[in-house]
Amino acid sequence: MVPIRDDNPVTITPYVTFGLIAVNVLAFLYESSLPPQQLDGFMHLAAVVPRELTASFAGISVNQPVPEWLTLITSQFLHGGILHLAGNMLFLWIFGNNVEEKLGHVKYLFFYLTCGVLASLTQWYFAQSSAIPSLGASGAIAGVLGAYILRFPNAEILGVIPLGLFFPTFRVPAYWFLGFWFIEQSFYGLASLQTPTNIGMENGGIAYWAHAGGFVFGAILAPLLGLFNDKPREDYFYR
């Protein structure tokens, strides 16, 4: 199921959401300009490598010019392919503006980056010795989804289901669409603990625990930052 848009208009210009999308796209263009060997080195430098993060937490030097803790942020702007980037930016475009409106620009940026860090740490917790780099904006965006489902559970989501040559559309409440997404991520995360392939952890793939963790932390953090406060804010640029 692929969302197309939500019926949930905003009264502000979501500059932070636009800026995050722009930075992600520019980072991907830079990645695309690198030759394969240099790209691999760049990914290992700027993405989260769990075993290196584990070593740094233990006070062991990993001989990297970028501090390993900083990769918890830099990794949020890297993507493994055009579909990876497009999917993440689509979700951010649809759901980010409404959360930005409720939190305000500054708090929203703090919220987004914090959710990304906590999502990466969740994934790291379940694969502390992995050498597979973890990257992507989906953990931070999962935090946005966790905030959205709390604040706008009944907002209508328009989406499409790709079925070969057919693309039937659907309309469902946000709590149904995002709730199903969260259950799916949690299920695959739990399944990964029971299988030798370690879905999304040791052999690469999707970081399901980062998605589930980001969603939960987003649902916890956003209300603390004023998600349900409808008073006019000074850090808005209205249009």
The pLDDT of 211-227, averaged and rounded, is 95
Over residues 168-204, the pLDDT tens digits come to 888 999 999 999 888 888 877 676 665 433 333 344 5
CATH of the domain at 54: 1.20.1540.10
Q: Report the C-alpha gap between 54 and 46 in whole angstroms.
A: 16
Q: Is residue 239 part of a domain?
A: no
Q: Is residue 197 part of a domain?
A: yes
Q: Is residue 89 part of a domain?
A: yes
Q: Is residue 27 part of a domain?
A: yes
Q: Is residue 150 part of a domain?
A: yes
Over residues 1-24, the pLDDT tens digits come to 889 999 999 999 999 999 999 999
Q: Is residue 6 part of a domain?
A: yes
Asked which of 96-110, 118-132, 150-164, 199-213 is least confident by mean pLDDT, the reply is 199-213
Mean pLDDT over each residue of the chain, to the nearest integer: 88
Domain that holds residue 136: 2-224
**pTM of the predicted structure, to 2 decimals:** 0.89
DSSP class per residue in 5-63: EES---SB--HHHHHHHHHHHHHHHHHHHS-HHHHHHHHHHHSB-HHHHHHHHTT----
Q: Is residue 229 part of a domain?
A: no
Q: Is residue 237 part of a domain?
A: no
Q: Which amino acid is at 163?
A: L
Number of domains in the chain: 1
Q: Report the C-alpha gap between 207 and 199 in whole angstroms.
A: 8
Report the alpha-carbon angle 13-20-169, nearest 5: 75
